[in-house]
A and B are shown apart, each in its own frame.
Chain A
């Protein structure tokens, strides 16, 4: 499946947001996910399905002032 994640094109076989986070080795409890500009809340990671050409943003807290 073709996905754009944080602006990068990736070819990954992940059917759900939770699978994607696992594949990317990201901790679910510290990231936030946007799927096609809509926030996917943590409790919905398991049930939110992905499809070809979905655009995702995955963010987290970093150093700042």
Chain B
């Protein structure tokens, strides 16, 4: 092993695990907590929403997140304009959450594809305000560069539409982003099963963020463990350096000394 210290650094944040996991869509908080533990994730995402004034008995999800081990990453999901996303980020900070944001501005209801123009506007404002911005975007090199130039601490290209579980639809686009990136690239969205996470990491992604793939699996806790191993395997395979693909066979056993 050449590199023992393989920390993921995003702004001032440092992590050993390269798997970021969501808190949405779990059957209950108990299962979510067990899945988080099995995933080994040190970052979990949350959304910001109105409190339900008519449901006072409701327990807080936050009590199921061990903040000694886990850093909470608020998102701006549900925002359709830069203005809404900026407001959400500020509210997340005011709610006592860490000073970083998964910036997500959606441009199309059905596909949940990002509105990069709005996301970029919000990035510029929030970076100025001192937020560590992780920008959710398409698998597009041009915008990846723009987010980097605007001061995003990480760019998060999608593997496939949010919650679709389609895997990494365009590995070449992810690879192109990775080859040109100066900030960590986290593949976010589309990861449906363990091999999808491994493919992202083998391409050289710095991390993977997923939610639905674990939360809606038949056994979320087992899938969380599968994702942990998948991300670690993919990272190791990337660092180890794969062999080039060849058209023809190449014997693994010596040609010489075969009994005749």
With a cutoff of 8 Å between Cβ atoms, the chain A residues found around residue B93 in the complex are 32
Is B94's CB under 8 angstroms from A61's CB?
Answer: no
Judged by DSSP, the binding face of B is mixed
Is A63's CB under 8 angstroms from B94's CB?
Answer: no
Please tell me which one of the listed residues A25, A27, A41, A59 contacts residue B50 in the complex, with CB atoms under 8 A apart: A59
Is A62's CB under 8 angstroms from B92's CB?
Answer: no
Is B60's CB under 8 angstroms from A64's CB?
Answer: no
**A63 and B90 in contact (CB under 8 A), knowing A8-B53, A30-B96?**
no
Please tell me which one of the listed residues A26, A39, A42, A65 contacts residue B51 in the complex, with CB atoms under 8 A apart: A26
A19 part of interface (Cβ distance < 8 Å): no
Is B91's CB under 8 angstroms from A64's CB?
Answer: no
**Alpha-carbon distance A49/B210, docked complex (angstroms):** 42
A1 part of interface (Cβ distance < 8 Å): no
Binds A, one of B40-48, B116-124, B168-176: B40-48
* Number of cross-chain contacts by CB at 8 Å: 101
**Alpha-carbon distance A41/B90, docked complex (angstroms):** 10
Q: Tell me how far the C-beta of B176 lies from the nearest C-beta in chain A, rounded to whole angstroms.
A: 25
B72 part of interface (Cβ distance < 8 Å): yes
**Chain A residues bordering chain B, tally (CB within 8 A):** 28
Is A61's CB under 8 angstroms from B162's CB?
Answer: no
**Alpha-carbon distance A22/B115, docked complex (angstroms):** 39
**A65 and B53 in contact (CB under 8 A), knowing A30-B62, A60-B48?**
no
Is A58's CB under 8 angstroms from B96's CB?
Answer: no
Nearest-neighbor residue (CB-CB) of A37 within chain B: B87
Q: Tell me how far the C-beta of B161 lies from the nearest C-beta in chain A, rounded to whole angstroms.
A: 12
Q: Which residues of A contact B (CB under 8 A)?
A: 5-8, 10, 24-27, 29-34, 39-42, 57-65
Beyond the given pairs A59-B50, A64-B75, A65-B47, 11 more chain A to chain B contacts, judged by CB atoms under 8 angstroms and listed by A's residue number, are A24-B56, A30-B62, A30-B95, A39-B91, A39-B94, A41-B94, A58-B53, A60-B49, A61-B46, A63-B23, A63-B25
> Can you list 16 pairs linking A and B with CB atoms under 8 Å apart?
A6-B50, A24-B51, A25-B56, A30-B62, A31-B95, A32-B94, A57-B91, A59-B49, A59-B91, A60-B48, A61-B46, A63-B61, A64-B24, A64-B46, A65-B24, A65-B77
